Amino acid sequence: MIEAFGLTSNPRKELPLAVDDLSFEARAGHVTALLGLPGAGKTTALRLMLELQQGRGITHFKGRPLNRIPHPSREVGVLLGDVPGHPARTVRGHLRMLCAAAGVPVRRADEVLEVVGLVSLRDERLGTLSRGMDRRLGLACALLSDPHTLVLDDPAGGLSTREAQWLHGMLRAHSSQGGTVLLTTSDPKEAARNADRVVTLEQGRLVADQKADEFARTRLRPRVAVRSPHATRLAALLTKEARTAQRSVEVVREGGNRLSVYGSTCADVGETAFRHGILVHQLADETGDMGPGAGPATVDGPETAVAPQAPDQPSTADADREPETAPQLSVPAGTPRSEDAELHSSAEAEVPRADGETPAAADPRAKASRSAETRPPDALSLLPPPISVRPAPSPLRPLRYEIRRAAGIGTGFVTGAVVLVVSALAAVLLARIGHTPQARLLAAWPRELPLPPAALGAGLLGALAFGDEFRHPALAADRGTVPRRLGLLAAKLLVAAATALMLAFLTVGCDAEVLYLVYGRELAQVPADWISMSASWIGLVVGCAWAGVLAAGVFRSTTAGLAAVLAVPVLVVPLVQKALEGASVRAAAGFPLRLREVFLLQWPFGGERYLSGVARVIAQPVGGALTLSLTALLCAYLLTTLRSRV
């Protein structure tokens, strides 16, 4: 269950608090609705509960605050707004990436896709999904790790009636299995129909906390919807007859040829229209709303006529009646229902899915029960089968997640292709001009440029590793920010280094091949000191990739990551050169010999030579500047990580 105590948002300039001392609870096995007009503080309350916004108060999820839960995304499924994710990623790829992050089997992505009816759209891009399909995908993301609690902000907003009924059927199935569901809505009829308990907010304060049947009895009332070309005349006649009979009848003009008649029945309105020869196009019982928090009706210039109320005539009535035109859908047999179940409906049994199948036929639980032995058919649920999450040393499966993230979109492949083409053209042009050393020729690095194309490409890919996270925060649904975990940083550095190595070798190989094809074998020869050159080349490309990763992680921007890569040769290298060229009374002559003396043991395979080579690379101005930049960025990242944890 969810228990919220004293939720209060931070004060704003000359404005009332968005949420002011709000306390309520959402019980397990029930659907709880936060009801209020737009601006009443519903979304702010959810963000305070999920620690996405600063404020006061505390929220317990099954007796623990969110910061005490080791794996929040596994226990609390969240849907706030649209699905966060790169618009170029496929639906299935996005879910598989989240599976790797949560430590659940990859097959779970296909299971939830089948349940929410997105099997036929699994290869579609996130940016092409409609509103209804985006809501389905958001629910799939929330159900991915089989959480006990669902927190959803206006999940049915913008959906058609049939889509909204399907979604509420899924939420009802989750609560019937003992789960907790908390959602927000601005429609009182939706709250009364689909929730077990309704918590009403007005200007950030708690107005009422009621059961759904009590809410419907005190806050809703029946009405008769009338559509007639003579609506004005019919309204005057109904008001006149109500005054004559001393009955409390309220007639509201809803614009055009529509009327809403409160305190009467279809039979009375129909008889009045028949007696006076008035043509009626529609006559149906509906449920209207009243009081604070009720959603505004679509009214164009309301004209209200209220007859005086008789002392013995009640002003409100039981509101269990629904519009006659609305499709009535039922929960599958055997699904537990609460004592207020007359107000709830489930669309899963009758609503066709996007791929043309009915959910009952595509439910993996139904398939399993027909072939296995576990449960009778009447105990089936609309949800995917439960899973046992594999234990993980950290809240993320960082390496698998990062590999899926990097390979899920075409940005990296396009960047690599552009780098290879630009490097090949630059190498051909430099060879034609001449006066370029062989090492720079193979790397396509003109003296006029601060960095070669391969290093710039590696830096861009490294910056995207964190830049895409903050721009499309797929990992931020449960805590509101990209996690600054050292395991995630290590995974990104490892994948960025592997990508940079591949790009470095491919660049040199393509440049050598193009030079051989255009000018012959002379320009494609390997330099004599290729080992030290290769070490310097690999160190430069990998260092640029790491600088991009760390800078983007610190400044939360791809542009900042790429700027940090360019700042190394443009700003840091001149400063290092100026520092090394300054007056000095001592020099580092004989450093390799002293290094050998410090490490008395002989390293296998001549390891001290490689260590000495690394030291010589770092001692160069570019190597020293890059090492200095990486050290500063790493310290800044660790500082921000420790600060966020504190």
Q: What is the pLDDT of residue 101?
A: 84
Phi, psi for 416 (deg, rounded to 5): -60, -40
| Of residues 80 and 529, more confidently modeled | 80
pLDDT higher than 70, residue 421: yes
What is the model's pTM? 0.71
Q: What is the pLDDT of residue 319?
A: 36
* Distance from C-alpha of 601 to C-alpha of 279, rounded to nearest angstrom: 105
Phi, psi for 295 (deg, rounded to 5): -70, 140
Q: What is the pLDDT of residues 466-498, one digit of tens each?
A: 998 888 888 776 556 777 788 889 999 999 999
Average pLDDT over residues 380-384: 61
DSSP tag of 6: E
Q: What is the pLDDT of residues 280-313, one digit of tens each?
A: 998 988 766 554 434 433 333 333 333 333 333 3
Q: What is the pLDDT of residue 631?
A: 87
Least confident span in 340-354, 484-498, 596-610: 340-354
- For residue 7, give Cα distances in angstroms to 50, 58, 65, 633: 11, 7, 13, 37
Q: What is the pLDDT of residue 616?
A: 59
- For residue 410, give Cα distances in angstroms to 88, 131, 433: 8, 25, 35
Q: What is the pLDDT of residue 211?
A: 92
Following DSSP, what letter does each residue of 575-613 receive, concatenated?
HHHHHHHS--S---TTHHHHHHHHS-SPPGGGHHHHHHH
Q: What is the pLDDT of residue 347?
A: 34
Average pLDDT over residues 258-277: 90
Burial level of 587, CB count in 10 A (0-12/13-18/19+)?
Answer: exposed
| Residues linked to residue 200 through DSSP beta bridges, in sequence order | 35, 208
| Of residues 568 and 381, more confidently modeled | 568
| Residues linked to residue 8 through DSSP beta bridges, in sequence order | 56
Average pLDDT over residues 200-205: 91
615 confidence band (pLDDT: 50, 70, 90): low
pLDDT higher than 80, residue 351: no
pLDDT higher than 70, residue 517: yes
Return the C-alpha torsion angle 277, 278, 282, 288, nearest 10. -120
318 confidence band (pLDDT: 50, 70, 90): very low
* Distance from C-alpha of 533 to C-alpha of 529, rounded to nearest angstrom: 6
Least confident span in 22-36, 66-80, 109-123, 225-239: 66-80
% pLDDT > 70, the chain: 76
Q: What is the pLDDT of residues 122-132, one digit of tens each?
A: 999 999 999 88
| Residues linked to residue 202 through DSSP beta bridges, in sequence order | 205
Q: Which long-range contacts (CB under 8 A, 24 or more apart) does 187-192 make?
A: 187/295, 188/35, 188/215, 188/219, 188/220, 188/289, 188/293, 188/294, 188/295, 189/220, 189/287, 189/289, 190/33, 190/156, 190/164, 191/33, 191/35, 191/215, 192/216, 192/219, 192/220, 192/287, 192/319, 192/343
How large is the C-alpha radius of gyration of the chain? 33
pLDDT higher than 90, residue 425: yes
366 confidence band (pLDDT: 50, 70, 90): very low
Q: Which two structure tokens, joined as six digits, stand for 95? A: 């879910």
Following DSSP, what letter does each residue of 334-388 receive, concatenated?
T----TTGGG----TTT---TTS--HHHH-HHHHHHHHSSSS-GGG--SSPPP--
Least confident span in 233-242, 421-430, 438-447: 438-447
pLDDT higher than 50, residue 342: no
Could you tell me if 23 and 4 are in contact, meaning their C-beta atoms sit under 8 angstroms apart?
A: yes
Q: What is the pLDDT of residues 140-191, one digit of tens each?
A: 999 988 899 999 999 988 888 899 999 999 999 999 999 999 999 998 889 9
Name 475's Cβ contacts closer than 8 Å, sequence gap at least 6. Answer: 101, 396, 469, 482, 483
pLDDT higher than 60, residue 334: no
Q: What is the pLDDT of residue 306?
A: 38
pLDDT higher than 70, residue 116: yes
Average pLDDT, the chain: 78
Within a 10 A sphere around the Cβ of 330, how many other Cβ atoms?
15
pLDDT higher than 50, residue 509: yes
Q: What is the pLDDT of residue 272?
A: 92
Q: What is the pLDDT of residue 345?
A: 34
Q: What is the pLDDT of residue 500?
A: 95
Q: What is the pLDDT of residue 312?
A: 36
Q: What is the pLDDT of residue 612?
A: 59
Q: Which of 430, 2, 42, 364 is nearest to 180 (CA)?
A: 2
Average pLDDT over residues 324-342: 35
- For residue 137, give Cα distances in angstroms to 117, 118, 193, 389, 528: 9, 8, 24, 21, 57
**Amino acid (1-letter code) at residue 444:** A
Locate all alpha helices (DSSP H) within 408-452, ordered by sequence: 411-433, 438-443
Within a 10 A sphere around the Cβ of 292, how many other Cβ atoms?
15
Within a 10 A sphere around the Cβ of 194, how many other Cβ atoms?
27
Q: Which two structure tokens, joined as six digits, stand for 167? A: 């979604």
- For residue 390, give Cα distances in angstroms to 141, 173, 396: 18, 25, 11
pLDDT higher than 80, residue 593: no
Q: What is the pLDDT of residue 350?
A: 37
Average pLDDT over residues 578-605: 60
Average pLDDT over residues 373-391: 51
Q: What is the pLDDT of residue 533?
A: 82
pLDDT higher than 60, residue 51: yes
pLDDT higher than 80, residue 377: no
Q: What is the pLDDT of residue 370?
A: 35
